Amino acid sequence: MSLTPGRPRVVIIGCGFGGIEAVRALAPADVEITLVDRTNHHLFQPLLYQVATAGLSAPAISGPIRHILRKEMQRGNLTILLGEVTRIDAAARSVELDSGKDRIAYDHLIVAAGATHSYFGHDDWAQHAPGLKTLADAFRIRRRVLMAFERAERQRDLERRKACLTFAVVGAGPTGVEMAGMLAEIAHHTLPDEYRHIDSRRARVVLIEGGPRVLGGFTEKLSAKALAQLQTLGVEVLVDAKVSSIDAEGLDYEGPQGAQRINTHTVVWAAGVAASPLGRALADSCGCALDRAGRVVVDADLAVPGHPEISVVGDLAAAKSHPKKGPPTPVPGVSPAAKQMGRTAARNLLKRLRGETTQAFRYVDYGALATIGRHSAIAMVDVPMLGRVQFSGPAAWLFWLFVHIYFLIGFRNRLVVLSDWAWAYFSFERQARVVADPENPPRASS
Amino acid sequence: MSLTPGRPRVVIIGCGFGGIEAVRALAPADVEITLVDRTNHHLFQPLLYQVATAGLSAPAISGPIRHILRKEMQRGNLTILLGEVTRIDAAARSVELDSGKDRIAYDHLIVAAGATHSYFGHDDWAQHAPGLKTLADAFRIRRRVLMAFERAERQRDLERRKACLTFAVVGAGPTGVEMAGMLAEIAHHTLPDEYRHIDSRRARVVLIEGGPRVLGGFTEKLSAKALAQLQTLGVEVLVDAKVSSIDAEGLDYEGPQGAQRINTHTVVWAAGVAASPLGRALADSCGCALDRAGRVVVDADLAVPGHPEISVVGDLAAAKSHPKKGPPTPVPGVSPAAKQMGRTAARNLLKRLRGETTQAFRYVDYGALATIGRHSAIAMVDVPMLGRVQFSGPAAWLFWLFVHIYFLIGFRNRLVVLSDWAWAYFSFERQARVVADPENPPRASS
């Protein structure tokens, strides 16, 4: 296609599921696209916990953005920039990169900056309880988990050794459940016989949930199945337990039995999600409303009220789905929703350029899945003719494997993950148990 | 076997090629072994440059020590500790871990702590020109190389863009040559068409060697072949060029044409190797002699003079090989030599326990290999009946591939590297082009 001089400039912030889909939908059109991200890779976040638990290497679940979008690149209307958007100027229609180093003008803006962790106002917990959103987060957790066993092996004080061998996961959503299940599997299946002074099977894995049940997004029946599967794996599950403080030596919580303490050096935070700070930056610039989680409240067509040239998609959007029948419903923070929003925002942008009416966003919900460990998972899936079907156990686990391989971006990643999983399944080994940097930044010595 | 109470305690420092071999040779004996390393993994250093250039992921060329030594572990006389030896007390026969946190007594000590980079007294160069000895080093170089292309894409000033697209490798030994060849391959084959504002093919890769030729350890004929292969790949080779300063914007060198400057933001240091600081620690404790590179001068049987209970092996040892005929010759700093020394030190230790005479170390040299890039390598190999055979080109390259796969530790690593190489060969892709952390430590935001 020929590129029209002065064609509309579209800036897309973020290359997660929403951003990538928006680029793909816009690339064939006569627009000039600039995609900005602060990393050089797209990350398949649903499997990030497997990097954190040493089951997969980082390149298996991520790919360079430039490589993923190489076909779109060849059309000649896409620029990819590595940089961090630090300000949005809605009046001047520009975004600022890296605190003013660069400024990019836009005619249309799609913000797909995603979410980060929320410590509910206790930011000091972050140093003791890392969350899991980026590859750097995953490496940090992997290091802490593996180093805890190493410290236990060297520790002679039995109480301290017990604390080294206690792992706490805060939050029993899908990520928390997956983390806890994997930690139990490492302790019980991967590490036994590799230590001389400790028995890794005696490690304690505690999953702490503030609500009344694990995997609250699923039905009560599936949630109960998941609980049973976790307990079979040896995970201690505490529900209705609210964490009140976290320090270097452990955490305190308020449970049904009152205030309790767990001595542990390894806490993983899987509890709170907050919108990217870019939501606040956008609100500062154009006065749009944010919800309690800091997400941008958008119109039915995903545009920012009063700013049809700006759309927000993915975890940063407080969006509603507009079904054919019935009232609008909130959109969950899952990857299929982000992808669908990215596509809808791109299509609505093109409709606007053609002077057509935009479409309200409608989320197509295919179901939900969560895995707990080897042979254990729960699933609720929409099946044509049958409606919503619930199942659990090995069948759900196989289904989970299939879906995750299928949706991985890149043929090579699919092969790598498939072969890594097959190897891990039969050998109980975890291939990525390597810590590049035990604790400190590396030194150059003379 | 039954373990004798009060059996001899052997401490081995370092789990590189020398340390691992020593453990394997000692494990069947009636000794109590403690292996100490500051990382949790054994690293196949000959392929580390492929992690630095994004061709392989870290787990492909490394493995957890505990997993590698799991069979030895099952004999019940091996303890593995993660920690850094900070002092050796030869009089008290103990080593100190992590500045006094722990102290381990020994009856016999094998020091296999290896080597680090030497900046020839210019330690300030380290920040601008990272070397390549650890996985953390490899990740740092990978990040700098990939980020240089990203910065170039955003840079509008043409001179500065040129500096971003200039890569300098200092030192034309095997590592330097392999790095330079891979950088040229990335620029010319992997990245083209992935950028919009730059042509990665115009990147400049400069290899700077202080001596008169590349790969000085090989014959002049092979060295000339390697030079020709490097030039075919598009590498600029400067010989007789001595680097006089390195800063954030580039480097200065004295060459045949006098003082020159190269503007570059990416310098890789492959020039100087120095013994681990533990050589100095040992000398401080027992007064043994160090050579100019800081290596411990050892007896013919690899023991420290005057301290038959201490042996030094691998890159930390200034050892001599004692052939059947002719005078002793220096042992080169290569992995087969480290392995052979580890085995000899272990056997001599057992001989001492039995009251037998120890053996002088004899290095069996099977030859040397270096690769330059796709289809290019040079080799000199000892073939029975034929003596030393020299060859280069595709045959040497295939031989290089075979040898490196063969010597990788772990069946799984062999499979992974083989399949990664096959994929890279046919697709020109490099699978590990992912930077977990572009520049700064990750933040937790609320």
- B251 vs A199: CA distance, rounded Å: 53
pLDDT class of B438 with cuts at 50, 70, 90: low
Instruction: Output the pTM of the full model.
Output: 0.90
Q: Does residue A315 carry a pLDDT above 60?
A: yes
Q: Residues B54-89: pLDDT tens digits?
A: 999 999 999 999 999 999 999 999 999 999 999 999
What integer pLDDT is reported at residue B364 of this predicted model? 94
Q: Is the dihedral of CA A428, A430, A431, A433 positive or negative?
A: negative
Give whole-number Cα distances, A122 to A128, A171, A252, in Å.
11, 15, 13
Q: Residue A1: pLDDT band by 50, 70, 90 thresholds?
A: very low
Nearest to B41 among A83, A429, A434 (CB): A434
Instruction: Give the span between the Cα atoms of B11 and A350, in whole angstroms.
Output: 70
Cα–Cα dist B193/B183, whole Å: 17
* Chain A residues inside the 8 Å CB shell of B135: 434, 436-437
Which one, of B373, B431, B341, lies nearest residue B112 by Cα? B341
- List the catalytic residue out of A32, A72, A178, A185: A178
Share of chain B above pLDDT 90, in %: 81
Select the residue of A73, A123, A435 nearest B444 (Cβ to Cβ).
Answer: A123
> What is the distance between the alpha carbons of residues A176 and A106, in angstroms, rounded to a whole number?
39
Question: Are A82 and B444 an interchain contact pair (Cβ–Cβ within 8 Å)?
Answer: no
Among B62, B65, B67, which residue's Cα sits nearest to residue B46? B62
Contact of A74 with chain B, judged by CB distance below 8 Å, is answered with yes
Rounded mean pLDDT of chain B? 92
Q: What is the pLDDT of residue B441?
A: 36
Closest CA to B234 of B174, B188, B170, B176: B188
Tokens representing residue A53 in the block:
């638990």
What integer pLDDT is reported at residue B398 of this predicted model? 92
Among A375, A387, A373, which residue's Cα sits nearest to residue A190? A373
Mean pLDDT of B285-291: 95
Half-sphere exposure of residue B338: CA atoms within 13 angstroms, side-chain side: 21
In this complex, is the C-beta atom of A435 within 8 Å of any C-beta atom belonging to chain B? yes
Binary contact (A64, B116; C-beta < 8 A): no
**B window 191-210, beta carbon within 8 A of A:** 191, 193-197
**Rounded percentage of chain B residues whose pLDDT exceeds 70:** 97
Domains and CATH numbers, chain A: 9-117+274-353 (3.50.50.60), 123-271+368-427 (3.50.50.100)
Instruction: State residue A153's pLDDT score.
Output: 95
A443, pLDDT greater than 60: no
Average pLDDT (A324-343) is: 95
Average pLDDT for residues B174-189, to the nearest whole number? 94
B442 → closest Cβ in A40, A136, A423? A136
User: Which residues are paired to B80 by β-bridges?
Assistant: B35
What phi, psi does B387 have (nearest 5°)? Answer: 80, -155
Phi, psi for A366 (deg, rounded to 5): -90, -5
Closest to A104 (Cα-Cα) out of A41, A38, A42, A35: A35
C-beta pairs of A367-370 under 8 Å, 24+ apart in sequence: A368/A217, A368/A218, A368/A334, A369/A396, A369/A399, A369/A400, A369/A403, A370/A174, A370/A177, A370/A178, A370/A215, A370/A218, A370/A226, A370/A400
Per the structure block, which two tokens stand in for B358?
């120890």
Residue B3: the pLDDT is 55
Q: pLDDT value at position A438?
A: 55
Whole-angstrom Cα distance, residue A364 to residue A305?
A: 24
User: How many other CB atoms sit within 10 Å of the CB of residue A38?
Assistant: 18
Residue predicted with more confidence, B425 or A132: A132
The ipTM is: 0.87
> Does residue B413 sit in helix, strand or coil?
helix
Helix (H) or strand (E) holding B230: helix B220-232
Encoded tokens for B250? 């580039």
